[in-house]
Structure 1
Amino acid sequence: MLDSTNNFIYGIGGRLSLESYLTEHLVFIVHGQLRFLLNNHIGVSHALLGFGIRFNF
């Protein structure tokens, strides 16, 4: 939420990704993201984590 005095949210973020080949065509992926936001009422830091599998032809 924004207050009426200052409508600008600022911060910094970063992302990290890791890929590992399980076989010649099958890849396991893990990625994470962190956001550090100031001047908001919801919270200061937000983290995301995901994983997946990719098949390369």
Structure 2
Amino acid sequence: MLFMLYLAALSTLSIKALWQSKSFAIKAVWIKLFVGALLVNWVVKLVIGGGYY
């Protein structure tokens, strides 16, 4: 549950940073972090749930 709240906060921060940043390099880093967080979330669900979603 706490992890999901962390992910929600991370995604909100990344969206705000995307809007505020002028540099494409910064945007690319934030996109990679966001995608990475989604992948980690999926892997955690896979391990805890013990099945494929």
Output the TM-score relative to the length of structure 2. Answer: 0.22
Q: Between Structure 1 and Structure 2, which shows a larger proportion of strand residues?
A: 1
Larger Rg: 1
Q: Between Structure 1 and Structure 2, which shows a larger proportion of helix residues?
A: 2
